[in-house]
Structure 1
Amino acid sequence: MGQGLERIIQESVPGKQITIAHVIASPAPDIYDRLGLERREAIGILTISPYEASIIAADVAAKAADVGIGFLDRFTGSVVLLGDVQSVETALRAVCDMMRGRMGFTVVETTRS
């Protein structure tokens, strides 16, 4: 054991954060097929911790704009939104604003491709 080897134990401790907030405008049709999602004009992606906050995010998004919830996983914090580009952007903005302002989350800038 004393050969200079070091043992490192890493532990993930999630904070209150949104680490991905992204809009895919005009996704390739294959993306919808692979994910088993209804084809729409745009896809919005959120990754949130703590993971249970994804439920809150989905509710805020659905109330803020005409978007559908394509996927919600309270065990990984993933939320996928479907709709037209403007609605998806509005929904992501509403989620980020509420989580940052009212819940004290650290939030990334929303991106678009």
Structure 2
Amino acid sequence: MEERITREELLERLFHDDYENLKGRKLRLTRVRVPGRSIDFAHVISPSDAVVYQNLALNIGVHEGEDHTGQSIGIVRVTPWEAVVVATDVAVKAADVEVGFMDRFSGALIILGGLSQVMTAIEEVVKYFRDELHFDVCKIHKS
């Protein structure tokens, strides 16, 4: 169960000893996300139902009219987000896969293809980021 705390309790926890001096003053908190150098998620799935591809919007845009049913899907999330461009380059050079989606603003990459091709591409991305770029990487999961 998630613990709920008040704003004052949060400030007291954040500023500890300085909290008494800060009481009554106007404070502005800024949340900043500092991305690490990591592959946080690497997963390969082999769905058999077209609805999976439709829900991922893999049947629109440049893929409109294509039927990806039976193809495997590889999903990777990279930080910093711009590194997804490198991940995409490594994936398409490593295996006969198609880019389903790539977003340099979130670090998300979805690739499509046969199971062995998608698995090879994801393995090569993780290996390259670990060995060449010295990123922290996660295990590759498959379902």
Q: Which amino acid aligns with 1:25?
A: S
Q: Which runs of 5+ in 1 are unaligned?
A: none
Q: Which amino acid aligns with 1:78?
A: A
Runs of 4+ in 1 over 2 A off after TM superposition: 3-12
CA distance 1:111–1:5, change in 2 (3 Å): same
1:54-90 CA-to-partner distances (Å, cap 9, x unmatched) read 0000000000000000000000000000000000000
* Identity between Structure 1 and Structure 2 (%): 39
In structure 2, what is the Cα distance between the partners aligned to 1:48 and 1:81? 14
Alignment size in residue pairs: 111
Name the structure where helix makes up a greater proportion of residues: 2
Q: CA RMSD in A?
A: 1.7
Q: Which runs of 5+ in 2 are unaligned?
A: 1-6, 15-28, 59-65
Alignment correspondent of 2:137? 107
Instruction: State the structure with more CA Rg.
Output: 2
Alpha carbons 1:27, 1:43 under 8 Å: kept = no
Alignment correspondent of 2:37? 16
CA distance 1:74–1:4, change in 2 (3 Å): closer
Alignment correspondent of 1:73? 103
- The 3-state SS of whatever aligns with 1:52 is helix
In structure 2, what is the Cα distance between the partners aligned to 1:50 and 1:24? 24
Name the structure where strand makes up a greater proportion of residues: 1
- The 3-state SS of whatever aligns with 2:10 is coil
Query: If the length of structure 1 is used for normalisation, what is the TM-score?
Result: 0.90
